[in-house]
């Protein structure tokens, strides 16, 4: 089979398309014919070698993929050959024509969701779901600011927040990103490249502030975020690419909090909760993964460059 292999940590050019043996499922494993693989920012940090998780070399990147079950190992009961599935984690990497996953890492893909969309489920929707339900413990009457609403996690958060009944404010940095965030359910959108846009956000809340901020770029925004919160507000740090200084007094006066998490650290109960919630939303159409760009598997290095550039508009997926 064809697979992307990384033999050394480094820039996007270390992603090489190679011919490797197709793996065979052992007991408890599932072999999936991957039709599309989702590209997430963490895969670029891991490839560069500066992520806390360092896979042994060589490795095939990717956790998110969607396709059809090719074969199952002994004892697997949850799925069988020809089932349509998406993966949340894999044992062998999703940037490949076939991927091995544990039985519990594959999940049914509802008929109305195509494979490209299925490649954009686990990391984006899992993260957004966990942030809103488990971390922020959002209530329907609250207001959420999705700070970075045009990318994979942001659009998932907009759709989930809207389905929960929240008032959803979103930011993006291009007209296209703003339009997609609005189309996918944001009640109001703001340009995070425009000077003074934070004042517009405050005004949109009648100067009360927002209850929840889902933050995609904390190193840039965290200090100002603390000034946008209502009383008892919560900032959930999802993404950060550096250090930042804040004034804790902004939190104290508001009884506000800042929390952070990584999807790797969720509990099995939370994970089961997330997949059940995502499946229901995909089935009833409230969750609709947005594919912004499709590239062939061979162009994985281009995908790794482009995912870190401004101008997000949904997911980048590799067609395998």
Chain residues in the site for ligand NAP (CB under 6 A): 40-42, 123-124, 127, 147-154, 171-174, 177, 192, 216-217, 220-221, 238-239, 261-263, 307, 310-312
**CB of 147 or CB of 304, closer to ligand NAP:** 147
Q: What's the min distance (Å) between Cβ of 170 and ligand NAP?
A: 9
How far is the C-alpha of 316 from the C-alpha of 306, rounded, in Å? 9
| Strand spans (E) along 56-121 | 65-72, 84-87, 98-102, 106-108
Q: Length of the chain, please?
A: 320
Q: What's the min distance (Å) between Cβ of 54 and ligand NAP?
A: 16
**CB of 25 or CB of 151, closer to ligand NAP:** 151
Contacts of 75-80 with C-beta under 8 Å, sequence gap 24+, read 75/27, 75/28, 75/103, 76/25, 76/28, 76/29, 76/30, 76/103, 77/103, 78/103, 78/104, 78/106, 79/30, 79/103, 79/106, 79/108
**CB of 25 or CB of 233, closer to ligand NAP:** 233
CB nearest ligand NAP: which residue? 151
Q: What's the min distance (Å) between Cβ of 262 and ligand NAP?
A: 4
Token look-up 């993260």 returns: 127
**CB of 113 or CB of 123, closer to ligand NAP:** 123
Q: Which two tokens stand for residue 20?
A: 């490797």
**Sign of torsion over alpha carbons 245, 248, 254, 256:** positive
**CB of 23 or CB of 41, closer to ligand NAP:** 41
Q: What's the min distance (Å) between Cβ of 310 and ligand NAP?
A: 4
How many alpha carbons fall within 13 Å on the CB side of residue 110? 19
**CB of 31 or CB of 238, closer to ligand NAP:** 238
Q: What's the min distance (Å) between Cβ of 185 and ligand NAP?
A: 15
Q: What's the min distance (Å) between Cβ of 214 and ligand NAP?
A: 9
| Neighbouring C-beta atoms of residue 184, cutoff 10 Å | 22
Q: What's the min distance (Å) between Cβ of 26 and ligand NAP?
A: 28
How many alpha carbons fall within 13 Å on the CB side of residue 189? 24
**CB of 25 or CB of 170, closer to ligand NAP:** 170
């Amino acid at each position: 089979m064809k697979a992307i292999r990384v033999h050394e940590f480094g820039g996007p050019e270390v992603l090489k398309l190679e011919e490797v043996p197709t793996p065979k499922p052992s007991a408890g494993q599932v072999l999936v014919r991957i039709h599309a693989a989702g590209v997430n920012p963490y895969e670029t940090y891991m490839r560069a070698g500066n992520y806390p998780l360092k896979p042994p070399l060589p490795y095939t990147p990717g956790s998110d993929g969607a396709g059809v079950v090719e074969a199952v190992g002994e004892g697997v009961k949850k799925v069988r050959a020809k089932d349509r599935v998406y993966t949340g984690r894999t044992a062998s990497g999703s940037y490949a024509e076939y991927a091995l996953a544990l039985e519990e890492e594959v999940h049914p893909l509802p008929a109305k969701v195509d494979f490209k969309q299925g490649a954009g489920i686990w990391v984006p929707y899992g993260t957004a779901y966990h942030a809103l339900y488990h971390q922020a413990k959002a209530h329907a009457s609250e207001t959420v600011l999705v700070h970075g609403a045009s990318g994979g996690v942001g659009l998932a958060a907009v759709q989930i927040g809207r389905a929960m009944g929240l008032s959803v404010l979103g930011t993006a940095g291009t007209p296209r990103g703003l339009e997609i965030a609005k189309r996918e359910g944001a009640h109001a959108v703001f340009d995070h490249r425009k000077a003074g846009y934070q004042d517009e956000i405050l005004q949109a809340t009648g100067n009360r502030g927002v209850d929840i901020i889902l933050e995609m770029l904390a190193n840039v925004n965290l200090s100002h975020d603390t000034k946008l919160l209502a009383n008892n507000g919560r900032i959930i740090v999802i993404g950060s690419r550096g250090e930042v200084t804040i004034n804790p007094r902004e939190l104290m006066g508001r009884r506000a909090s800042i929390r952070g998490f990584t999807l790797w650290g969720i509990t099995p109960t939370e994970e089961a909760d997330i997949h059940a919630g995502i499946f229901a939303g995909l089935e009833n159409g409230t969750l609709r993964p947005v594919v912004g760009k499709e590239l062939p598997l061979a162009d994985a290095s281009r995908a790794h460059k482009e995912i870190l550039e401004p101008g997000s508009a949904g997911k980048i997926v590799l067609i395998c």
